[in-house]
């Protein structure tokens, strides 16, 4: 795999990281493989393009003055609001010695469980750690969706398609993805109130409802009538 080119310049430690960023550059540091810890800076647009292309598993040819150093993006910090690259640690590598690096998964093909059974695809792990010579490090690893034929089938590390010279350090039975059945919506059934039950509202026209209401309505009138008859009897 070809290296991704990127230019860098030595950084003056008297200049604050904030001033460097305001000048459209990104503060960086390089270390590893007998390279002294060195402060650098890279043009913001250029380092963004290089990271987009290389990720953390493709070798970058860092041009520093008259030197060209093979490195990996080892640690990348982003600004939380803008998402721009905030700081980068580069790790210098020896092209003749195997190294370990995280490699992204690329899910390819089609799952019959998703297509025919309407299953839901669930990604459990997006990266694995591989060991290889720096120039043999793949940009990503192919994970075939074709193994997901039934509900609860899984893609394991052992299912990955590996290029020659690449060894995955994760356990072979590590689950990387699976398919699950869709959750059914819960239907809540509300029972209708029973007429006559305690707390239930009376229904107009229901048998027994009108007489009860009439009795309540007529009670004060009857009482008043009774009082009138008593007064009349005294006068008589």
Whether the predicted pLDDT of 95 surpasses 70: yes
Mean pLDDT over each residue of the chain, to the nearest integer:
85
Residue 109's pLDDT is 95
Helix (H) or strand (E) holding 229: helix 209-235
User: For residue 201, what pLDDT band results from cuts at 50, 70 and 90?
Assistant: low
Residue 54 is assigned to a structural domain of this protein: yes
In a shared domain, residues 61 and 16: yes
In a shared domain, residues 159 and 104: yes
In a shared domain, residues 36 and 11: yes
Which of these three, 151, 180, 209, is where a domain ends? Answer: 180
Q: Kindly report, residue by residue over 119-177, the tens digit of the pLDDT.
A: 999 999 999 999 999 999 999 999 999 999 999 999 999 999 999 999 999 999 999 99
Q: Which residues contact 119 (CB under 8 A, 6 or more apart)?
A: 111, 113, 148, 151, 179, 180, 181, 182
Residue 72 is assigned to a structural domain of this protein: yes
In a shared domain, residues 38 and 14: yes
In a shared domain, residues 89 and 19: yes
Residue 13 is assigned to a structural domain of this protein: yes
Q: How far apart are CA 167 and CA 137, in angstroms?
A: 10
State percent of the chain over pLDDT 70.
77
Q: Kindly report, residue by residue over 112-121, the tens digit of the pLDDT.
A: 999 999 999 9
Tokens at 166, concatenated: 């690449």
Residue 50's pLDDT is 97
Query: Which CATH number characterizes residue 105's domain?
Result: 2.170.120.20
In a shared domain, residues 87 and 129: no
The whole-model pTM stands at 0.70
Number of domains composing the chain: 2
Which of these three, 62, 96, 130, is where a domain ends? Answer: 96
The domain containing residue 48 runs over which residues?
4-96
In a shared domain, residues 14 and 70: yes
In a shared domain, residues 88 and 111: no
Higher pLDDT, 106 or 197: 106
Least confident of 37-46, 99-108, 226-235: 226-235
Residue 217 is assigned to a structural domain of this protein: no
Which of these three, 68, 96, 124, is where a domain ends? Answer: 96
Decide if 114 contacts 151 (C-beta within 8 A).
Answer: no
109: which DSSP letter? S
Residue 231 is assigned to a structural domain of this protein: no
């Amino acid at each position: 795999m070809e290296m991704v080119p990127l230019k860098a310049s030595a950084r003056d430690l008297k200049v604050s990281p904030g001033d460097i960023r305001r000048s459209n550059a990104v503060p960086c540091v390089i270390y590893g493989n007998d390279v002294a810890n060195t402060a650098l800076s890279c043009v913001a647009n250029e380092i963004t393009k290089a990271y987009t292309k290389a990720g953390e598993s493709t070798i970058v040819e860092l041009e520093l003055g008259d030197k060209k150093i093979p490195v990996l993006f080892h640690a990348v910090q982003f600004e939380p609001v803008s998402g721009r690259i905030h700081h980068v640690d580069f790790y210098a590598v020896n092209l003749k010695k195997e190294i370990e690096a995280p490699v992204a998964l690329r899910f390819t093909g089609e799952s019959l469980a998703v297509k025919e059974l309407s299953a839901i695809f669930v990604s459990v792990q997006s990266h694995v750690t591989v060991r290889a010579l720096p120039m043999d490090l793949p940009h990503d690893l192919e994970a075939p969706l074709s193994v997901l034929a039934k509900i609860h089938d899984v893609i394991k590390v052992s299912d990955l398609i590996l290029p020659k010279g690449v060894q995955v350090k994760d356990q072979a039975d590590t689950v990387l993805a699976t398919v699950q059945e869709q959750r059914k919506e819960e239907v809540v059934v509300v029972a209708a109130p029973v007429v006559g039950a305690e707390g239930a509202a009376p229904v107009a026209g229901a048998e027994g409802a009108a007489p009860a209401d009439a009795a309540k309505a007529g009670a004060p009138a009857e009482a008043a009538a009774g009082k009138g008859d008593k007064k009349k009897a005294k006068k008589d």
